[in-house]
Amino acid sequence: MKQLEAKDLRIGNLVINICNNEAVEVVIGVFEDEIYLSSNSSLKIEDLTPIPLTEEWLLKLGLVYNDERKSYGNETKLSVLKVCSSFVAEVYEDAAVKQVRYVHELQNLYHAITGNELEIKQ
């Protein structure tokens, strides 16, 4: 699994806190040597791991599977396709943008394209 780097994280990203029973937490602050989390804790980057992107996580983030297009999406022009054992995000219908392996990567890409946050749906 990829080691996280502080430069890859933004406020609002979801990560796994390995010091707290592998709880999923929201990043609320990013500094060079410390990451602040929604549990009111601050940790070194080594104490966090990225969340592998899965079909379950796509659904948790509010994306809906489109059987006709064989992809996950929502009301934006961003869709995520499963290609073999990985995911590829595409904009519009033909331009593959980037392979995404972790939830925070999809959140960052979504934010860059739409200006909106991709959060867990209740």
**Is the sign of the CA dihedral 45, 37, 111, 63 positive or negative?**
positive
Hey, what are 46's tokens?
Answer: 């080594």
For 21-45, what is each residue's pLDDT tens digit? 899 999 999 988 899 999 988 999 9
* Backbone φ/ψ region at 70: left (φ over 0), alpha (ψ -120 to 50), beta: left
Residue 95: what pLDDT? 63
> What is the value of pTM for the model shown?
0.80
Domain boundaries, the chain: 6-49, 55-114
For 49-105, what is each residue's pLDDT tens digit? 999 999 999 999 999 998 988 889 887 778 898 888 888 888 766 566 677 889 999
Hey, what are 22's tokens?
Answer: 């592998």
CB 103 within 8 A of CB 51: yes
In this structure, are strands 23-30 and 35-37 parallel, antiparallel, or unpaired? Answer: antiparallel
